[in-house]
């Protein structure tokens, strides 16, 4: 195998990664379920899950998560890996703890 073939293979591999990185991020910001997003974009959900797992490592215990505050809607968004939890003012903290605990067990 010559260098040109290896370079082309590397470029194709990076293009494929960029393609799926765009879809993983696109689904995250779309607000659609994986199934609905994949249907809208002609993708197979199992492929989306495969690439998400490959491209987005799970956060380790003790890692920081991103928290966004939307003051106009009294909404807090917690992003942890590919999980997004949204809570409004007056949420039940015990319920949130149970949700976070369930996510950590999966």
Q: Where are the domains of the chain?
A: 1-56, 57-106
User: Rounded CA gap, 24 and 17, in Å?
Assistant: 10
CB 57 within 8 A of CB 69: no
User: Rounded CA gap, 44 and 24, in Å?
Assistant: 12
Q: pLDDT tens-digit profile of 34-47?
A: 899 999 999 999 99
Q: H or E element: which one contains 37?
A: helix 34-41
Q: Where does the pLDDT of residue 23 fall: very low under 50, low under 70, confident under 90, or very high at 90 and above?
A: very high
CB 103 within 8 A of CB 78: no
Q: Identify the CA nearest to 103 among candidates 79, 74, 73, 76.
A: 79
What is the arithmetic mean of pLDDT over 44-68? 74
């Amino acid at each position: 195998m010559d260098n040109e073939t290896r370079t082309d293979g590397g470029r194709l591999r990076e293009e494929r990664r960029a393609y799926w990185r765009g879809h993983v991020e696109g689904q995250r910001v779309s607000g659609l379920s994986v199934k609905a997003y994949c249907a809208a974009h002609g993708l197979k959900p199992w492929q989306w899950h495969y690439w998400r797992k490959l491209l987005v490592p799970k956060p380790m215990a003790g890692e920081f998560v991103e928290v966004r505050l939307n003051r106009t809607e009294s909404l807090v968004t917690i992003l942890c890996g590919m999980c997004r939890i949204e809570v409004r003012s007056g949420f039940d903290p015990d319920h949130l703890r149970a949700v976070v605990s369930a996510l950590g067990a999966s």
